[in-house]
A and B are shown apart, each in its own frame.
Chain A
Amino acid sequence: MQTTTENQTEERREVDVGAAAREALIDDMLRQLDAELVGLEPVKLRIRQIAALLLVERLRGQAGLSAEPPSLHMCFTGNPGAGKTTVALRMAKILHSLGYVRRGHLVVATRDDLVGQYVGHTAPKTKEILQKAVGGVLFIDEAYYLYRADNERDYGQEAIEILLQFMESRRDDLVVILAGYKDKMGRFFQCNPGLHSRIAHHIEFPDYTLEELMKIAELMARNLMYEFDAESKDAFRSYLELRIRQPHFANARSVRNAIDRVRLRHAVRIVEQGGRIPQQELARIDVLDVRQSRVFQAASERGEAKETL
């Protein structure tokens, strides 16, 4: 008699997913991500998926349905300035708040930190970095430099092998994120197919649209305590339209550089103007600050710009 009641409660036992999600602060984290990162829908989608998976995995563990922890090694590819590094820096915090990594610190490594200069130098060097990253995230920026196809005696290969072994055998100890430009990473993976298959998450960062770039510009300006007025906003938009078509356009990085130059012109204008000015002038970006850019001058010489000053 007693066993039947136990069986019945077993079947009816419920799991409060909502409470667990609230407890893990997943919503807060995702909202913050939405607020601070413009665009990047595929990236956010993947983070949402990972967050959900880790939450469900935890609930499953509590219900006795234990499984191997998922592998979360990632590879970020995308054009310059698409936000790969920014997201990687965040990823460590996100994975920590989801309870996947124990410490949530980030160790940034480049080729110099991993590859040695003489025989027998590479292995201890790579292992030391890996050891530092245990419990957190190891971020290898521009990972394709690890492997030099033209030099078969290069020690990069050795570093990759140690990395692979570590990624496989101690996957619950650290998360490795590789990042790099799309075409170069493609070639890198062609030469190292083992690495490609051991990374579960290949996330591509799309280029930003004009609207997204504008949002980024406003966000950056706000963080620097500057403000666009309506006119200068329009000017900045037409600046971006022209800039996107030029060579070496690097998404958010170009926006940041543009804002830095706008700040220079803003400062010069304020100083030259002299005298007494209202305080908010120190924060307001004038249309002139934007319009004086070389991008506009070059365009007007070619007769491309519709409005000239």
Chain B
Amino acid sequence: MRITQGTFSFLPDLTDEQIEKQIEYCLGRDCSIGIEYTDDPHPRNMLWDMWNLPMFDVADPKAILHEVNACRKAFPNHYIKINANDATRGRETVVLSFLVNRPPHEPGFRLNRQEAAGRAIRYTTHPYAADRPAGERYRE
């Protein structure tokens, strides 16, 4: 099951050229860009690992694409996303976030039902991949 997190996630995966254009747009709006990766695809997992520090004062999208490729090389089977942070006063937040890499095979989520007191049912989702320890979840 293809996970859909962040902007453009219902579109086909972006090509490098398209990623570069998106980065260029972000840089044009004075955003600083950070790269993050994870192998825990749960939608409530906000704390992805950072790939180096966010890149401040970078002028050219090629420099960031180079880092994306370095991250892809190190974690070919992880989810990798680009975050563009707008530091303008009053905004000070991530304004664009999109996936730039995903594992080749995404097994999806299991729905767990828990029978609670008084015939109530509680639901929770659980990524199949998360059954294995971190770092070994998407070995193909």
Min CB distance A126 to B, Å, is 14
Q: Whole-angstrom distance between the alpha carbons of A131 and B57 in the complex?
A: 9
Cross-chain pairs A/B with CB under 8 angstroms, 19 sampled: A102-B62, A103-B59, A103-B60, A105-B59, A131-B58, A131-B63, A132-B57, A132-B59, A132-B63, A133-B59, A134-B60, A134-B66, A135-B59, A135-B61, A135-B63, A136-B59, A136-B60, A173-B62, A173-B63
A221 CB → nearest B CB, Å: 36
Output the residue of B60, B61, B62, B63 with the most chain A CB within 10 A.
Answer: B60
Name the CB-closest residue of B to A104: B59
Q: List, in ascending order, chain A residues with CB within 8 A of B62's CB.
A: 102, 134-135, 173
- Separation in Å of the A199 CB from the closest CB of chain B? 22
Number of residues in B with C-beta < 8 Å to the partner?
10
Q: How far is the CA of A135 from the CA of B61 in the complex (A)?
A: 8
A173 to B65 Cα, complex, angstroms: 12
Which residue of chain B has its CB nearest to the CB of A127?
A: B52
A86-105 at interface with B (beta carbon < 8 Å) = 102-103, 105
Further 12 A-B residue pairs, CB within 8 A, beyond A131-B58, A131-B67, A173-B66? A102-B62, A103-B59, A131-B55, A131-B63, A132-B58, A134-B59, A134-B60, A134-B63, A134-B66, A136-B59, A173-B62, A173-B63
| Contact pattern, B 45-72, Cβ under 8 Å of A = 1, otherwise 0 | 0000000000101111111001100000
Chain B residues with Cβ below 8 Å from A170 are 66
The 8 lowest CB-CB distance pairs between A and B, nearest first, are: A135-B60, A134-B63, A134-B60, A131-B63, A105-B59, A103-B59, A132-B57, A103-B60
Contacts of A105 in B (CB 8 A): 59
